[in-house]
Structure 1
């Protein structure tokens, strides 16, 4: 971890120098790769309906609630280092110290995070990633991008996942490969099981692809601006370019 932090120091300095006068970069639903995005969305949806969703339903039905809560707590705790490192990179020192304390308390007193001991102590969970850090220093999102397997993202946020992967604690622990792969399998299944109640809402949408895209953009703005996104200005709203060869968005048949 110390090696990673030393490597991140020049990046932090560059962000501070380049972004001192920058406003946070907005996230937009601008489409430059709609054909590609819709194709990936169809692939992800088929994979979800054929494999992930049935497994998630079985997981939710078979695994007791208290066990699912413990699994969720462990997965959430593993995101702790990524959160407080990105808070420090954003200059949120107080929040970074609080989330460092939250991670240490839940890892020790909470038995590697199975029990959320920190929240009752007033250390609420926060959620930060490197994409939010780039946005904090004024990097715009660029076009919307649908990733295979991972889902909604943007040109700014997609490559940021690499940094977040490197700050995951499991990358620096000597776990058996069986435990590592168990975590990789359980994480998407648990996450999908938590999203099952939203399926009916998405199904009722006129165009589920557009619904998911716009919902993701709104959620991203909410996170970047810490729950208080400013209203859009005329500069944030991009007029669609007239292109005879590019038809308007229509739901797939």
Structure 2
């Protein structure tokens, strides 16, 4: 898949979301423009621990945070809610399992980058088991066989090898991130599309672009379907700072080496 096609898929995903919204899948949300709570300034909470995260681009980040709220409320969530309304839970679980299985490729590559031999073998075993017995990941027999899932990404790999998180960054649509994690996302995406290009699973269908667009769009809907977070529903007047702090702390814990862990 060329870079041009990747861009076309991303654009098509947005257009598909808008088409679903206008076609009747949208469900009216209770949020209105006037109901967005004000974002308090950091000076009001400068003595609190969650104010410690390095955020030199706060003005930009807060703007993107608001953009994500509007996109989520008026485009993404209505599409997701439409998907949940018309799709049985059993099918939703099978779709999630399918994409979880595909993500094992990312988990495996980063376990290898971190030189985690036992974890790499477990992840490989999961992928092979669920791809065969689990019918392409629609079911998860690997977990029942004791092969636990290890979620990895290149942002964690960079942190594992000592790279600092860098400034906090809110990405359009993706949400909370950092310079390190954004770089990791770019690397993971490049590896994924590199493997996809080499495999070219739909090249013989004559409709490779259309099928790829559908698969990418459904993956985005499934990912949002599995996330319970909703912007400005926390009840905290300082939600931006709390989200920033918890994201930062979570990623630091996930990416840090554990000196007490047994070597593999």
Q: TM-score range by the shorter chain?
A: 0.7 to 0.9
Equivalent residues in 2 for 1:103-122, closer than 5 Å? 103-122=127-146
- In the alignment, structure 1 segments of 5+ residues that lack a partner are 1-27, 231-253
Q: Deviations over 1:107-133 (max 9, x none)?
A: 121111111111100011111111111
The CA RMSD over aligned residues, in Å, is 2.2
Equivalent residues in 2 for 1:142-153, closer than 5 Å? 142-153=166-177
For residue 188 of structure 1, the aligned residue among 207, 220, 227 is: 220
Change in CA separation of 1:222 and 1:133 when aligned onto 2, cut-off 3 Å: same
Equivalents in 2 of 1:104, 1:166: separation in Å? Answer: 23
- In the alignment, structure 2 segments of 5+ residues that lack a partner are 1-51, 203-207
Q: Deviations over 1:125-175 (max 9, x none)?
A: 111111111101100001100111211110111021122113325343322
Equivalents in 1 of 2:98, 2:141: separation in Å? Answer: 12
Equivalent residues in 2 for 1:123-202, closer than 5 Å? 123-168=147-192, 169-174=195-200, 175=202, 176-196=208-228, 198-199=229-230, 202=233
1:220 aligns with 2:251: yes
Equivalents in 1 of 2:234, 2:89: separation in Å? Answer: 26
For residue 66 of structure 1, the aligned residue among 80, 90, 95 is: 90
Q: Deviations over 1:74-109 (max 9, x none)?
A: 111111111111111111111011101111111121
TM-score by length of 1: 0.73
Equivalents in 2 of 1:146, 1:106: separation in Å? Answer: 34
Mapped contact 2:110–2:157 kept (Cα < 8 A): yes
CA-CA distance at 1:71 after TM superposition = 0.7
Aligned length: 201
Equivalent residues in 2 for 1:15-26, closer than 5 Å? none
Partner of 2:22: none
